[in-house]
Amino acid sequence: MLIIGFRARLAGLIFAANCFTATILAQTANIFKLNDFGGWALELLAIYMLIGLSFFFTGAGKYAVSTGNKWD
């Protein structure tokens, strides 16, 4: 849905919720840990969650397949 721009706000919200659920259920022990290189252990998962939220707040843009609904 995100790739073609169909209901991108809905897809972004679902994707962000999925990342949040993965953080809570599987990665709770790593919330305050650093990896071997000194970065946050959950950095990639947090970035994906923030990208999903950005799609939710901004939409798909002018090249989306569907633009007539409030979830686009």
Cβ neighbors of 52 (< 8 A, separation 6 or more) are 12, 13, 14, 15, 16, 17, 18, 19
**C-alpha–C-alpha distance, residues 14 and 7, integer Å:** 11
Q: What is the pTM of this model?
A: 0.86
Average pLDDT, the chain: 92
Q: Quote helix, strand, coil % in the chain, to nearest 5.
A: 55, 5, 45
Write out pLDDT tens, residues 12-31: 999 999 999 999 999 999 99
Measured CA to CA, the distance from residue 8 to residue 18 in angstroms comes to: 15
Residue 67, pLDDT above cutoff 90: no
